[in-house]
Amino acid sequence: MSDTTTSANRLARYQTSAHIAGVVAAVLGIVSVLLPWSYAHEPLDDVAYYGAPSPLQYNYLGLMVIVLVMFGAPLALRRKGKFRDRIAWNTGARFGGYAMLATALVAVAGIGIEAGGLVNVDPGGWIAVAAGVLATAAGLVLLPSAAPRTGTFRTPAWGQILAIAVGLAAVLFAAAYALGLTDSGAFLFYLTFALGLALTLVRVGLFGWLAQCAADNKKVLVFAAFLVAFLFPFTQNGSDANMSIATQVLFFSATALGLNIVVGMVGLLDLGYIAFLGAGAFTSASLSGSLFAHINWHPPFIVTVLISGVVSSLLGLLIGTPTLRVSGDYLAIVTLAFGEIFRITMNNLDGSDGPNITNGSNGINNVPELGLFGFNFGDPHVMLGVTIGRFANYFWLMLIVLALIMVVFVNLNRSRIGRGWVAIREDELAAEAMGVNTFGLKLLAFAGGAFLAGVAGSVKAHYDVSVTPDQYVFLESAFLLAAVVLGGMGTVMGVLVGATVLKLLPEKLRFFSDYRLMLFGLLLVFMMRFRPEGIIADERRQLEFHAEDEELAEEVEGELIAYHDHYNPDAAKTEELR
């Protein structure tokens, strides 16, 4: 104790010098942007000019300005005040320093690898590295600030909505820009930059304030988020490359959200979830009127969706009824086996080993484009001067499906059924002894999750054009589960983030496709060690993982009260009257 106090005292003397050093580092970084980073033109989308920064370097410049503010603000704000005391400048500065160093190192490494040697790194690159080292060192000398209290800033409603709008616009712009980067090195550079920037802003407390704005305007936020997603195709100028990735992300998210009901809300480990998606896809393909389908009935798509969902949920009931009476591990093994049985069965329904329904490993090909209310999803059309292609059509459809799944998820969670699920997760025996139908509720989650997967699968059959058994393998189940665990079990936002990360990274970082599994494994191990509740955590889940943390418990309690008052304004009022 006394040791740390003395070393803190010793450090305290150098605070001003550290702030000044940080400012110098940021200025150095700004200077570096004006110099060429690389001799060759190929690396990082061309960073080889004097005085003419590339778009990537402009991003880096933005980071420099923010770091400059982090280090400079405490020098400028000498007097006490809410801006000095509620914002965690020092912690922000420290993470800004890390971000500078990391980005500069990625840049230098990228140039070295892509141009064939560090010889190609020009002075600008080295100055950026030096600036990063200086900023990191200065940040390490700084005493960490107290936790930010930016949530207590009073902001008028219009200010909050403006903040949400700006935040979402930034996300849309960043996503569109990142998707547009074709060079792996440039993408990695941008990713490091974005992560570093986000971490810095989180640490300084900006996100605390944004979260407060979001919590006060939940409806606006949800509406705006969907609006942003809806507008995304317009940023793509009719290019299909990114739209196809974005649509796949939506498919993946929708399926992961369905899995989240089973895993996140009730706590049942399902390792064969992809089979339900496959069942929906095969059902839909068989009823699609494809030449390769063996069922000569072609109902309208609305009917097909329902049939697919029902077929999947029947399979869910079939698996769930005998296994849900036993606890966790057995269910994991049975569902794992079920996933395999599904794949092998689909492979064998080829006419020689059984009835011919799926054409065996060839699958059902040439599934026609989806037609809904006379609109063909394969047709491109022009809207506001932008060509909206096939992928954008499916993107919008999946956006609607995703919204429906979110409504199901959130409304169930906020009902008697959701409370029953939480009770089962907390203490199954006590729940049963309090009259909760534990078996029925688990079965409902299992069959309901399967239904949603079936719905997503029925659209996916049309999107993929062909449905084959080897699209629905165990690996896909594992990725879905990873998305749920990585993002945050039991939350909508978390799963969307997790699914996006897991789907987007392999698409953009082709060069590591061989090491993909290894990297995901490592990522999950690190998550389990440092943040087992996921990127965006459900408050209750967070408590379950940190049972001894009393401070966290108090905090969560506050949030639950706010949540309760938000959804039961009358109850809150009567409480006040008493």
Partner 1 sequence: MTAAPEVARGSATGGVLLDAHNVTMQFGGLRAVGNVSMHVSRGEIVGLIGPNGAGKTTFFNCLTGLYKPTSGSVTFAGQPLPPRPRKVVYAGMARTFQNIRLFHNMTALENVMVGRYCRTKTNAIDAVLRLPRHRREEREATDRSRELLAFVGLEKKADTLSRNLPYGDQRRLEIARALATDPQLLLLDEPTAGMNPQETREAEDLIFRIRDLGLAVLVIEHDMRFIFNLCDRVYCLVRGEVLVEGAGDVVQNDPRVIEAYIGKPTVIEEDGNDA
Residues of this chain that interact with partner 1 (CB under 8 A) are: 407-408, 411-412, 414-420, 422-423, 426-427, 429-438, 444, 448, 540, 543-544, 550, 553-554, 556-557, 560-561, 564, 568, 571, 575, 578
Distance in Å, CB of 322 to partner 1, minimum: 18
Distance in Å, CB of 557 to partner 1, minimum: 5
Closer Cβ to partner 1, 469 or 488, answer by number: 488
Distance in Å, CB of 574 to partner 1, minimum: 9
b/e sequence 239-263, b meaning 16+ C-beta within 10 Å? eeebbbbbbbbbbbbbbbbbbbbbb
Q: What are phi and psi of 490, to 5 degrees?
A: 85, 0
- Give me the amino acid identity at 338: F
For the beta carbon of residue 175, count every other beta carbon within 10 angstroms. 20
Closer Cβ to partner 1, 64 or 431, answer by number: 431
- Give me the amino acid identity at 121: V
Distance in Å, CB of 353 to partner 1, minimum: 38
SS3 annotation, 28-92? HHHHHHHCCCECCCCHHHCCCCCCCCCHHHHHHHHHHHHHHHHHHHHHHCCCCCHHHHCCCHHHH
Distance in Å, CB of 417 to partner 1, minimum: 6
CB 136 within 8 A of CB 98: yes
Closer Cβ to partner 1, 111 or 305, answer by number: 305
The residue among 338, 361, 334, 336 whose CA lies nearest residue 349 is 361
- CA-to-CA distance for 217 and 219, rounded, in angstroms? 6
Closer Cβ to partner 1, 353 or 557, answer by number: 557
Structure tokens at 55: 């778009």
Distance in Å, CB of 72 to partner 1, minimum: 42
Closer Cβ to partner 1, 412 or 536, answer by number: 412
Distance in Å, CB of 569 to partner 1, minimum: 12
Structure tokens at 536: 């965006």
Closer Cβ to partner 1, 357 or 431, answer by number: 431
Q: What are phi and psi of 371, to 5 degrees?
A: -120, 130
Distance in Å, CB of 251 to partner 1, minimum: 22
CB 464 within 8 A of CB 471: yes
Closer Cβ to partner 1, 78 or 219, answer by number: 219
Distance in Å, CB of 566 to partner 1, minimum: 12
CB 135 within 8 A of CB 25: yes
Residues 6+ apart with CB under 8 A from 509: 184, 187, 188
Structure tokens at 538: 């459900």
For the beta carbon of residue 272, count every other beta carbon within 10 angstroms. 24
- CA-to-CA distance for 297 and 557, rounded, in angstroms? 55
Closer Cβ to partner 1, 411 or 513, answer by number: 411
Closer Cβ to partner 1, 408 or 473, answer by number: 408
* Cross-strand pairs, 350: 356
Distance in Å, CB of 328 to partner 1, minimum: 18
Distance in Å, CB of 415 to partner 1, minimum: 4
Q: What is the DSSP string of 158-221?
A: HHHHHHHHHHHHHHHHHHHHHHH---HHHHHHHHHHHHHHHHHHHHHTHHHHHHHHHHHTHHHH
- CA-to-CA distance for 506 and 435, rounded, in angstroms? 47
Place of tokens 């009719």: 238
156: left (phi over 0), alpha (psi -120 to 50) or beta: beta
- Give me the amino acid identity at 390: R
* Cross-strand pairs, 505: none
Closer Cβ to partner 1, 423 or 509, answer by number: 423
Closer Cβ to partner 1, 16 or 321, answer by number: 321
Closer Cβ to partner 1, 422 or 505, answer by number: 422
Distance in Å, CB of 560 to partner 1, minimum: 6
Closer Cβ to partner 1, 346 or 436, answer by number: 436
Which class for 391: exposed (0-12), middle (13-18), buried (19 or more C-beta within 10 A)?
buried
Distance in Å, CB of 394 to partner 1, minimum: 25
Enter the DSSP assignment of 364. B
